[in-house]
Amino acid sequence: MQTYPTEINGTPGNQFLFSKTSPSSTLRVSVIVPVRNEAHHLADTLDALRNQYDANNIPLDPACYEVLLLANNCIDSSYEVATRYQDQYSEFSLHIAQVHLQPAKANIGTVRRLLMDEAYRRLTSSGQPNGIIASTDGDTIVDGQWVHSIMVEIANGNDAVGGRILTHPDQSQVRLYHLRDVMYRTLVAKAEAQFDPSLHDPWPRHFQHFGASIAVTCRMYDRVGRLPEKPFLEDEAFYRALIRMDAKVRKSPLVKVYTSTRTQGRVAVGFSEQLRYWSTMTETNQCQLAQPAEAVITQLRNRQQLRVCWQQRTHSIQLPLLQRIANELLIDFDWLAAEIRQNSFFGSLWEKVEEKMLMGAWATRWQPVLITKAIQDLRAYLAS
């Protein structure tokens, strides 16, 4: 179905961005795509979103999902590329708007929130309170079964799904830093599955939950207060809000996207900034560091035991166990005993515990080590 672009000048208020075409009555997933100066590869992004298949490689019903694309503050032809694409593939449920935001609001956090709010409005207005808001980016290529795999994971009882974000291989030294970081975080995720297992997020799993591939039900999106108003790292803040309320977040290896490794990003902080940081480390011969394996395992074991104590908080807490947890995490026992009774969600309790650890003796006790040593030691722990 062909739709027509909406143009909005200035800072958007309560005006709907995508109001000219009503959502399909069979809509289940609303995909949001923030775009800023992505003309060179936007057609590839849209091709991937248009060509979606189920587990048997049968094309998905185009009425079950839509794509909301917002071109924001573009100085290239991104908007024109999108509208030409819309004209060429009229059966593709692609809805386009463009906006010019004032400098204080011209950031990815504002744009992603505008889009996710619109996706929420369209899904709930079509009678889908458990519809799925799925986020990706204008420089990202989703897997051919991306939409289907998200729907499967949500159908399994999860509230949100983080997708695996892959990059194309190159021979740069920066990529070596990136691969070490991925290996370390993957081993930490495996350690989590072993020492603090989660029924809704079992192994195999990964560690990512970022804007290039994250999906959430409308019900949970509303429950956590929508996307936090942050100029950047809004996806990380959103993930923390989900965890804070014990949302079931699945980091599914079946949900995959491919993204660019450009160092000139659209935001001051993010993946491109991390790549620039690693590039500087390479040029200055700095070592890549990480939390030591023993600290990771100690933290995970005590998180699992603290979860047991928290689940028993309305009956009788095992005070000797709680004392041991406080000792090993190097935090005050009386503070922990009070907090365990005051938090309705384990996620909010653990967030406070982590903050306490970072401000206390834990940070002094566990100094960073070479990431290569941390990887080696984690492998040894997991093999034992």
Report CA Rg, the chain. Answer: 22
Residues 199, 326 share a domain: no
Q: Does residue 374 fall inside a structural domain? A: no
Among 248, 283, 318, give the residue marking a domain's end.
283
Classify residue 246 as exposed, middle or buried by CB count within 10 Å of its CB (0-12, 13-18, 19+).
Answer: middle
Residues 49, 15 share a domain: yes
Predicted pLDDT at 319 = 92
Among 226, 257, 283, give the residue marking a domain's end.
283
Name the token pair of 313.
């908080």
Q: Which domain holds residue 180?
A: 6-283
37: DSSP letter: S
Residues 158, 210 share a domain: yes
Stretch (H or E) spanning 98? strand 94-100
Region of 168 on the Ramachandran plot (φ > 0 left; ψ -120 to 50 alpha; else beta):
beta
Residues 56, 203 share a domain: yes
Task: Name the residue among 295, 299, 300 with its Cα closest to residue 377.
Answer: 295
Q: What is the pTM of this model?
A: 0.92
Residues 205, 79 share a domain: yes
Distances (CA, A) of 171 to 22, 144, 288: 47, 27, 18
Residues 337, 195 share a domain: no
Helix axis angle for 173-195 and 371-383, nearest 10°, is: 30
Residues 265, 306 share a domain: no
Residues 231, 319 share a domain: no
Residues 307, 268 share a domain: no
Predicted pLDDT at 284 = 73
- CB-side neighbour CA atoms (13 Å) of 59: 8
Residues 69, 38 share a domain: yes
CATH number at residue 125: 3.90.550.10
Residues 274, 233 share a domain: yes
Name the token pair of 23.
């959502």
Predicted pLDDT at 11 = 46
Distances (CA, A) of 322 to 45, 327, 359: 50, 9, 20
Q: Does residue 301 fall inside a structural domain? A: yes
Q: Does residue 16 fall inside a structural domain? A: yes
Predicted pLDDT at 65 = 98
Among 233, 250, 283, give the residue marking a domain's end.
283
Q: Does residue 373 fall inside a structural domain? A: no
* Phi, psi (degrees; rounded to nearest 5) at 222: -70, -40
Query: Domains in the chain: how many in total?
Result: 2
Q: Does residue 383 fall inside a structural domain? A: no
Predicted pLDDT at 204 = 98
Q: Does residue 88 fall inside a structural domain? A: yes
Residues 341, 242 share a domain: no
Q: Does residue 376 fall inside a structural domain? A: no
Classify residue 231 as exposed, middle or buried by CB count within 10 Å of its CB (0-12, 13-18, 19+).
Answer: middle
Cα distance between residue 375 and residue 380, in whole Å: 9
Per-residue pLDDT of the chain in tens (384 residues, 90 and over written 9)? 444 444 454 444 446 789 888 999 999 999 999 999 999 999 999 999 999 999 999 999 999 999 999 999 999 999 999 999 999 999 999 999 999 999 889 999 999 999 999 999 999 999 998 999 999 999 999 999 999 999 999 999 999 999 999 988 777 778 888 899 999 999 999 999 999 999 999 999 999 999 999 999 999 999 999 999 899 899 999 999 999 999 999 999 999 999 876 544 454 445 666 777 777 777 677 889 999 999 999 999 999 999 999 999 988 889 999 999 999 999 999 999 999 999 999 999 999 999 999 999 999 999 999 999 999 999 999 998
145: DSSP letter: T
Residues 6+ apart with CB under 8 A from 42: 35, 78, 81, 82, 85, 138
Q: Does residue 380 fall inside a structural domain? A: no
Name the token pair of 222.
């509303």
